[in-house]
């Protein structure tokens, strides 16, 4: 969330849960370069990619605010269906142990350990 009254030159903070950092507002050239990289990354996966053309992209970049938020710490939490009822947990683990596209017996074993359920 960005504080109300956000302005590109304001000294603002981004806050989401435990994330509290001061963003760096990108200048016009850095913002355009960032948009160009983002579009290239997303478009490379489509059959007919549409990349940014400088004549079209420069005015668009001027109408946007690019920010860079330095990450100094990252906290990862593993979610293993703890909030689900035991029957649903067992169904998920059975599906992970079954052959097919989503087969992942090791993940099912990790779930069983995290939930303290004996594997089938």
List, for residues 7-50, the tens digit of each pLDDT value.
444 444 444 445 566 788 999 999 999 999 999 999 988 899 99
Q: DSSP states of 44-106 as a string?
A: TTSSS--PPPHHHHHHHHHTS--EE------------STTS-HHHHHHHHHHHHSSSTT--HH
Q: What is the pLDDT of residue 32?
A: 93
Q: What is the pLDDT of residue 74?
A: 72
Looking at every residue in the chain, the average pLDDT score rounds to 80
Whether the pLDDT of residue 90 is over 90: the answer is yes
Does the pTM exceed 0.75?
A: no
77: confidence class by pLDDT, cuts 50, 70, 90: confident
Residue 75's closest CA among 17, 11, 22, 21? 17
């Amino acid at each position: 969330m960005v504080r109300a009254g956000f302005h590109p030159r304001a000294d603002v903070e981004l806050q989401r849960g435990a994330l509290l950092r001061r963003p760096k507002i990108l200048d016009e050239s850095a913002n355009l370069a960032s948009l160009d990289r983002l579009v290239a990354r997303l478009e490379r996966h489509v059959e007919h990619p549409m990349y940014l053309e400088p004549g079209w992209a420069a005015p668009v970049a001027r109408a946007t605010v690019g920010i860079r938020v330095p990450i100094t710490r990252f906290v990862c939490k593993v979610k293993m269906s703890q909030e689900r009822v035991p029957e649903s947990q067992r169904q998920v683990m059975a599906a992970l142990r079954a052959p097919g596209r989503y087969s992942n017996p090791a993940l099912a074993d990790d779930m069983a350990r995290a939930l303290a359920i004996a594997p089938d």
